Structure 1
Amino acid sequence: MKRSSKSRNGNPTTGPAANTGAGAGAGKGRGRGRIQALALAAALCCLGALLGFGAVLEGYSHRLHPPGLLGADGIAHAAAFNLLGFVVPGLLLAAVAWRLRERLRSGGAMARIGAWLWCLSALAWAAQGGVSLDPTDLDAQASRLHAAAWMLWWLAFVAGAALLAIGARGLPAWRGLISVEVLSGALVLVAVLGADIGVLPAPVAQRLALLVWLIAYVATARGERSGD
């Protein structure tokens, strides 16, 4: 005689259906945990590369020099920094944003476009590792491409943060992230514009924008754990 999946009072009991539901929930939980781990690994890799390679380069100052100088042509260990500081973190965070796009399908076009822009921002960060600065000629093609990738990086992030905040309003489980998106987008914008008008030293502003950018991805990936 087969065991019923429900007890006499109608409440579900252990059975194939219950086991299937539990397995699906566990699978989702593991998937979200992996995305959070990717975001955290990207942040640690990027910051570790910036601090580590900056410490071993004689004369390098985080207060006076841009992060991209560590990967510039002619600088010791430039290829390793470009890989660990730009390419790997950028690709990892692009994967995080891609997963975020899938999770926000029910949030409408605004949320999905915002996630796409965050994916583009992460890819633009990775691209900076492939077009190294030329410290002897900032007007060289490679230097211009590096600057263009930097501009695309912050523009895509700020626009994406605004759209994600708008899209999250229609998703109750994601509303807690609205403040994260708004604050991170505003801080990156203020840092970049502050450097342009001379209110903040450019190297300091660049590091502030980078730190906020990384925190935003980690916080959003962490928030996704309660996204169901």
Structure 2
Amino acid sequence: MQKEEIIETLQKFGLTEYESKAYVTLSLLGQAKASEISKQANVPQSKIYVTLENLMEKQLVEVSQERPKLFKAITPSFVIKNLLEAKEEEFKSLKQKAFLVSRLLRPIEVDEEIVEGIWVQKVEKYMEILDRLVQMVKKAKKYVYDVTKSLPYSSSYREALLDCKEKGVSLHVMAMSLEDMEKMKWYVKNGIKVKLLEARNHPRILAIDGKEVAIRIDNGKPVF
């Protein structure tokens, strides 16, 4: 890993660009004066003391009581461990907040909020399309009609179908390729009937409860 990559990685852990440069430089130097760190790390002289103070507050750097002061980086393995633990705590907190937000906003997702009309959503990645379909399937209460060229292999889509089955939602799946024979085994195993119809054109259509329909149109880029 190059020095620049290490600096970028430290920034992802929450350090600023100057802090990352100063810490990496100091780790390589062993110990050094602020002026030397500033020069080697390419951190402006006017910013180096603030940068080093911040690193000390984050327990990434130690300072001697000598004159002139010497700075030394804390052992990298120890630092990375602490930064990683801090990020894990941050992610854990964010995950809890995300769950709370989804619970608070849930009323917005009820059927009455579906607005009539034709709505277009441009997407470029297959997973973006699949995520949208998963959202629709999860809302189904009566039936799901799924017409597809290739049966989805995604675990999230399959889990959504199984949830529907448990709720008593009627599932109707039609595949249009013999290549799906292997994937079809999962559907048969879980009691989901699949009809196979070979066709030259392969539309992607998902209909939910007669209230919402998604159609993928391939015209250079997939569009809903």
Fold-level similarity (TM above 0.5): no
Q: How would you bin the TM-score normalised by the shorter chain?
A: under 0.3
Larger RCO (CA under 8 A, 6+ residues apart): 1
Larger Rg belongs to: 2
More strand by share: 2
| TM-score calculated relative to the size of structure 1 | 0.25
